Amino acid sequence: MSTVRHTTISTSLGDTTLVADGDVLIGCWFDADDTPAFGERTAPEGDPVLDRAAAQLTEYLAGNRTDFDIPLRADGDEFAGEVWAALRDVPYGETTTYGELATRLGDRFLAQRVGRALGQNPIGVFIPCHRVIGADGSLTGYAGGLDRKRRLLELEEPEHIRGSRLF
């Protein structure tokens, strides 16, 4: 019997679907269309994993949380798993590039492969792929859309940088 279940919550980034399997979070999707693929629909209240994930995401988006401590399981190939693990080491308020991640994983020429793994990240925000930018500092692809990526990066922007903006 499957223990996969999901709930959809309203957030400042739009409807967000959280997916759990057993006692771990396995998905966080914006504007998900195919929610039946995520198992049984349930309310977050009464489900310890979904309730905790919803609370932590809400706290994060309100600026009251800088990291997550909910158990995660992101299914993918070995390389994607290495990329996602490296992403979790990028601190709140900081960014990295595809090339920097590739170098950290042992080969700077793997930057495109890193990008593909980021595009397959099933647990957006909790595994912070929004913290990866282009080598020139530009915003690049994000499964949740560049507007959401920009908003997430602005949320995490250090106060001293935010205070020095001219606009």
Q: Which residues are catalytic?
A: 129
Pairing of strands 96-97, 24-30: unpaired
Q: What angle do CA 131, 134, 137 make, to 5 degrees?
A: 85
Record the tokens describing residue 167, joined without a space.
């606009």
Residue carrying structure tokens 């990329």: 83
Residue 95 CA neighbour count, 13 Å, CB half? 23
Task: Characterize the bridge pairing of strands 132-133 and 96-97.
Answer: parallel
**If DSSP codes are grouped into helix, strand and coil, which group holds residue 38?**
helix
What DSSP designation does 121 have? -
The H-assigned helical ranges of 11-165 are 48-61, 78-87, 98-104, 111-119, 146-156, 159-162
